[in-house]
C-alpha cells in the first residue's frame, strides 16, 4: 500500500539512536535536550503539539534515572519522563477513555500546557509528535507492568536508556514487548464487514480485529478471528499497513480479506455485526448515517475504510 506510512503513529523517520542508549547520562545533561512529559499515559500538549521542556524544568526533579531516551533530531536529544506520581489538587470524573476530554495542568509546565488523553488528540498531532507520544506511552506502560523479574521475581531496574530492564539478583534481562493484532477490511463484492463490541459507545462500529496467537501467521489469524467472531469464511488475505497502537502495547496489522460467505453468526465477543455497501459506508464516513457513527479519527480502521472507499489500497 503506497501511502501506508501516512497512518497516525505511522512513523516520522525519527533517529532512535539505539547505539547511544548507553550514553543517556551524558545526553540528559546536553543543553539542547528536550523532554516529553507524560502523566498517567497522557502527554503534555500545547494546543495540538507536544509541550517539550528542558531537563531543568521543576516537574522533572529526580527524573534522570527513570527517563526514557527517545532519540535525536536536528535540535538535539529527546527524552520522555513519566510524572504519574504527581497528584493534582482535583481530578475530573472520567467514565472511560472514549469520553475522557479532561485537561490537567501541572504548575511547573508553561501556561496553557495540559495533559490530554492521547486517543482524543492523536489525529491532530504531527507525525513526529505522534511517534514520540506513542513511543513514550507504550514504553512507560510496559515499565509499569514489568517491575519484577520474570525469571526469579526480584525487582528489576531500567537500563539502556529505558529500553531494557535488568535483574541484579539473577542477571536476567527483559525487553519491551509488543502484542501483534490483526485488523481486517473484509469485503464481499461491494460490501464491507463491520462489528461492534458491547462496551463501545452507541453507534460505534469498526472493522473486526483480534490478537495473533503464538505460532500463527497473520494471514491465518485473520481467517481465524473472522470465523470465530462473525462465522464468516475468508479466502485470499493480504497485508496493507501497520499502526503502533499504544493502548497499551499493540502493533496493528491492517489486512484485507475476501469473504467466501455472507451469513453472520455472532460469538460472545461481538454485540452486532453487519454488511454495509460502499454507498452506505460513504454515508457513515460523512456523518450522515442514521445509526452508525464515523470511524474514530486517527485509528487504522478509519484509515483502511477511507482508502477502500477511495480505491487507493494498492
Domain match, 135 and 8 both: yes
Domain match, 189 and 301 both: yes
Q: What is the mean pLDDT of residues 176-198?
A: 97
Domain match, 241 and 188 both: yes
Domain match, 17 and 70 both: yes
Domain match, 94 and 130 both: yes
Domain match, 140 and 152 both: no
Domain match, 235 and 119 both: no
Domain match, 284 and 191 both: yes
pLDDT surpassing 80 at residue 248 = yes
Q: Which of 97, 122, 145 is the last residue of a domain?
A: 145
Residue 314 included in any domain = no
Domain match, 190 and 288 both: yes
Average pLDDT, the chain: 96
271: DSSP letter = S
Q: What is the pLDDT of residue 97?
A: 67
pLDDT surpassing 80 at residue 233 = yes
Q: pLDDT tens digits for 54-94? A: 999 999 999 999 999 999 999 999 999 999 999 998 888 87
pLDDT band at 99 (very low <50, low <70, confident <90, very high): confident
pTM summary value: 0.94
Residue 251 included in any domain = yes
Domain match, 302 and 210 both: yes
pLDDT band at 98 (very low <50, low <70, confident <90, very high): confident
- CATH (domain of 265): 3.90.79.10
Domain match, 115 and 198 both: no
Range of the domain at 9: 4-145
Domain match, 215 and 261 both: yes
Number of domains in the chain: 3
Amino acid at each position: 500500500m503506497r501511502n501506508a506510512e501516512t497512518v497516525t503513529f505511522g512513523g516520522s523517520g525519527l533517529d532512535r539512536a539505539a547505539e547511544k542508549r548507553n550514553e543517556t547520562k551524558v545526553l540528559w545533561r546536553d543543553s539542547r535536550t528536550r523532554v516529553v512529559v507524560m502523566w498517567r499515559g497522557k502527554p503534555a500538549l500545547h494546543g495540538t503539539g507536544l509541550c517539550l521542556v528542558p531537563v531543568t524544568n521543576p516537574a522533572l526533579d529526580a527524573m534522570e534515572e527513570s527517563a526514557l531516551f527517545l532519540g535525536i533530531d536536528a535540535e538535539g536529544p529527546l527524552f520522555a519522563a513519566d510524572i504519574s506520581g504527581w497528584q493534582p489538587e482535583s481530578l475530573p470524573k472520567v467514565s472511560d477513555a472514549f469520553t475522557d476530554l479532561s485537561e490537567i495542568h501541572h504548575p511547573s509546565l508553561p501556561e496553557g500546557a495540559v495533559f490530554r488523553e492521547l486517543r482524543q488528540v492523536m489525529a491532530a498531532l504531527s507525525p513526529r509528535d505522534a511517534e514520540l507520544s506513542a513511543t513514550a506511552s507504550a514504553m512507560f506502560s510496559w515499565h509499569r507492568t514489568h517491575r519484577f523479574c520474570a525469571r526469579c521475581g526480584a525487582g528489576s531496574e531500567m537500563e539502556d536508556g529505558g529500553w531494557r530492564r535488568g535483574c541484579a539478583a539473577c542477571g536476567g534481562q527483559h525487553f519491551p514487548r509488543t502484542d501483534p493484532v490483526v485488523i481486517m477490511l473484509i469485503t464481499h463484492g461491494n460490501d464491507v464487514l463491520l462489528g461492534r463490541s458491547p462496551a463501545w459507545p452507541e453507534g460505534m462500529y469498526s472493522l473486526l480485529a483480534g490478537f495473533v496467537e503464538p505460532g500463527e501467521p497473520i494471514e491465518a489469524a485473520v481467517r481465524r478471528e473472522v470465523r470465530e467472531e462473525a462465522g464468516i469464511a475468508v479466502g485470499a488475505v493480504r497485508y496493507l499497513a501497520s499502526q503502533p497502537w499504544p493502548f497499551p502495547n499493540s502493533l496493528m496489522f491492517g489486512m484485507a480479506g475476501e469473504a467466501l460467505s455472507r451469513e453472520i453468526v455472532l460469538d460472545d465477543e461481538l454485540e452486532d455485526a453487519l454488511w454495509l455497501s460502499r454507498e452506505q459506508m460513504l454515508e457513515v464516513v460523512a456523518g450522515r448515517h442514521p445509526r452508525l457513527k464515523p470511524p474514530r479519527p486517527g485509528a487504522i480502521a478509519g484509515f483502511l475504510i477511507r482508502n477502500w472507499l477511495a480505491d487507493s489500497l494498492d
